[in-house]
Structure 1
Amino acid sequence: MFRSLEWLSHRAMHVAGWCYLGITLLITFDIIARRLMGFSTEATTEVTGYLMAIGMSWGMAGTLFERGHVRIDVLVQKLPLKVRVWLHMASLLALLVSTAFFVYGACSLARDSWALGATDLSTLRMPMVVPQGLWAAGLALLLLTVVAMAVRSLRQLVGGEADAMDRMLMARTYEDEAAETLEAVAEAQAGMHVPADAQATGVTR
């Protein structure tokens, strides 16, 4: 389950990226249309708002797997490992409770919009259940991710794998960022090299 959620969460981050790209394209088109063609879509504000909410919620689970959420952990990093892991667990349980609250609220909102047949005020008259349902789906994915991490963390605590739990939940450090940057540079450089057999046959990428 953990690996499946990790795979799904990273795919959801791709969706989030496309949402933000869509926001950029819609705003750019609307500006050009108003300046050069004298008209506006009259729905850009609403649609970009939906895309921003969906992109945010669909990207949160993957960001949690990558330890990318902001954490104020200056003191936590200086504490002994035996104390640190319990603080990790406490923060994870707090995240579980708050995320469950958000999921309940989002699902209730989408359900009410479905029951009332609510639509937005733009010219699209989009049913509100569509963006609200997609927004709630991203939050639900985050909730499942938090549950999976809590279960794994508990197993690691019981099994005496405090180091593994700490690595999974500790916020990213500057060493992590530097190592990831160097790895990306190395991969880019490797991709620029032409294989020897390709050079022998005169084939290039």
Structure 2
Amino acid sequence: MGTELLRKLVTYAARVGGYGFLAVAVMICVDTIIRKTLKISIVGSTEISGFVFALATGTAMAFTVLLAGHIRVDVLQNLLPRTIAAVLNVAAAVSLVLVGGILVWNEALLLNEALEYQATSTLLDFPLWIPHLLFLSALVLFVIASLVMLMQQLRHFPNESPALGGDAGADNPFDIPDDAR
């Protein structure tokens, strides 16, 4: 999978997650208003919110990795020699891959359990394998993005590699240029 295709896929998935958040926000506002005025509630709004939150979180994690928007201690990193900073970048990328792998493994187990027991949500009687599959897909995107970032870190070692979205500047608002070196 090419980097550009991965970026487009992750960006599209993150936008879907973002639109899901907007839809949930509207649903919660409507639910609050009708609960206060008409004394009724939207059944399953908490479950729907949880499903959307899971999908949006997984896609946002992949999006953040591809744009190098994750939190780094740039002040400390700028004080370190370039080789040590590069080693820390590689270690961070390895840890993202490992954590992502653990998350994928656990979510795959939950998906298997939901399929095996034909589990459904409490209020909506909605098959739980669907949100588990969506969350697993988002986590797989996160692991792929993390692997791509790790490969890029190794390819550019010991120099810092730019975000996959491009160098710092207009194309990548999440990357801070390292003018201190």
Normalised to the residue count of structure 1, the TM-score between the two structures is 0.75
Match of 1:138 in 2: 138
Letter aligned with residue 45 of structure 2? T
For residue 17 of structure 1, what is the aligned residue in structure 2? 18
Do the aligned residues in 1 keep the contact of 2:111 with 2:133 (CA within 8 Å)? yes
Q: Which has the larger radius of gyration?
A: 1
Unaligned runs of 5+ in 1: 170-174, 182-205
Count of residue correspondences: 170
Question: 2:104–2:139: 8 Å Cα contact kept in structure 1?
Answer: yes
Question: Alpha carbon RMSD of aligned pairs, Å?
Answer: 2.3
Q: 1:129 aligns to what?
A: 129
TM-score by length of 2: 0.84
AA in 2 matched with 1:34: R
Q: CA deviation at 1:77?
A: 2.3
For 1:37 and 1:117, the matched residues in 2 are separated by 35
Distance 1:145 1:10 in 2: 12
Q: What is the CA distance between 1:37 and its match in structure 2? A: 2.3
Aligned residue runs from structure 1 range 21-170, under 5 A: 21-122=22-123, 124-157=124-157, 162-163=159-160, 165=161, 167-168=162-163
> What is the aligned partner in structure 2 of residue 193 from structure 1?
none
- The DSSP-based 3-state class of the residue aligned with 1:40 is coil
| Structure 2: unaligned runs, 5 residues or longer | 175-181
- Which of the pair is proportionally richer in helix? 1
Separation (CA, whole Å) in 1 of partners of 2:94 and 2:43: 43
Output the CA distance in 2 between the equivalents of 1:64 and 1:153: 12
* 3-state secondary structure, aligned to 2:9: helix
Q: Residue 73 of structure 1: CA displacement?
A: 4.2
In structure 2, C-alpha distance between the alignment counterparts of 1:75 and 1:90, rounded to whole Å:
15
Alpha-carbon distance between aligned partners in 1 of 2:17 and 2:78, rounded to the nearest angstrom: 31
Shift of 1:74: 3.4
Kept after mapping to 1: 8 A contact 2:118/2:127: yes
Q: What is the percent sequence identity of the aligned residues? A: 25
Shift in Å, 1:176:
6.2
Indicate the larger mover: 110-119 or 32-41. 32-41
Q: RCO (CA 8 Å, sep 6+): is it higher in 1 or 2? A: 2
